Amino acid sequence: MSFKPNDLAAKSTTPATKSEAAHHPEMMPPSFHGNFDLYAMELPFIRSKFTPEHDYAALLNELRYHQAKPDSSAQIYLPDTDEFSAGVPGRLRSLPVEDPLEGMPYQLELTSLALRDSVSFTACETTEDALYSSAAPVSSARRTPGMTATIVLADDECGVIMTESSFKMRRAWVNPDGKDEVFSVYIACTSACACGILEDDYVDVRLPFWGIRARVGPDGREIGLGTTGEDDENMDMRTLRLSLSRAALNRDL
C-alpha cells in the first residue's frame, strides 16, 4: 500500500520512538478512524466546564456524562486510514444539518478523506464560540496533524444540492497515559433546496465541535454510525434533546 506525501501515517515530521511515546503520548500521531461523538462548543453546559482554565480533563468528563445518556450534537464514522486513498467514504450525521422540510438530519458522507501533517483553523473558522487550543507553529518540529474531508449528501434528495462544505479534525488533547483524547472538529456546509416550498430554502451551518471516541457496547464494539443500527433509533431522542437545547439558547445552533 502506498501513501500520499501529505499522509501523516507515511512519515512523521519527528518520528517518536517507543520509549519516547511511553513517556510522551502526545508525540504519537492520533488515529483518525472509527466512531466519534461530537458536541457543539457553544453549548453552555459544556463551555462552562472548559473555560476559563482550559481544563480538558473536566471537559472530557462532561462530554462522557452526556455521551452516556446517549446525547450528542453530531456523530461521525471514519474508515480505516488505509481505505482513504481507495475512496471509501466516512459518515456524518449532525443535528444542525437538517432537512428544512422534515426537520430531521440529512444522511451525509465524508469524501476526499485525507490525512494532513498539520491542520489549522482560519480566522473565519475561529468564531467567538470556538475554543480551539493553539496549534503548533508551522515552523515547529512538532506540528498538529489532522485530517480533512468534503461533506456530500449520501442519497439523492429531491431538489437539494450541497453547494459548499468543509470538514477539519485534529487532536486537541491527550492525557498522560495516552488512553483519553479530545478532538477539535470544524464543520461547514451549505445546502440549497430548489423546491420553492419554504421561504428559507437553504441551510448554512458553520460550527466548531469537541469530539471524543464512541462508547463501547457490551459486545466490545463501538456504538456509532459505522457499526450498529442502534444509533438511528437513538437519533430521535437526540433530535428532541437538541431541540430543547436550541430553545434554551434562543437561537439556532
Q: Per-residue pLDDT tens for 105-121?
A: 888 999 999 999 999 88
Count of C-beta atoms within a 10 Å radius of residue 3: 15
Domain count, the chain: 1
Per-residue model confidence as pLDDT tens digits over 156-203: 666 677 667 899 999 999 988 888 999 999 999 887 766 655 555 667
**How much is the pLDDT for 253?**
44
pTM of full prediction above 0.85: no
CA–CA separation, 215 vs 227, rounded Å? 11
Is 115 within the bounds of a domain? Answer: yes
Is 22 within the bounds of a domain? Answer: no
- Better-predicted residue by pLDDT, 78 or 50: 78
Is 9 within the bounds of a domain? Answer: no
Report how many helices (DSSP H) and strands (DSSP E) the chain contains, helices first.
4, 8
Count of C-beta atoms within a 10 Å radius of residue 150: 17
Is 213 within the bounds of a domain? Answer: yes
Contact in structure between 200 and 100 (CB atoms under 8 Å): yes
Is 11 within the bounds of a domain? Answer: no
In the chain, the percentage of residues whose pLDDT exceeds 70 is 63
The range of the structural domain enclosing residue 138 comes to 29-249
Is 151 within the bounds of a domain? Answer: yes
Is 21 within the bounds of a domain? Answer: no
Per-residue model confidence as pLDDT tens digits over 213-226: 999 888 888 988 88
Is 24 within the bounds of a domain? Answer: no
Say which amino acid occupies 132.
Y
Give the model's confidence band at 20: pLDDT under 50 very low, under 70 low, under 90 confident, else very high: very low
Mean residue pLDDT across the chain? 75
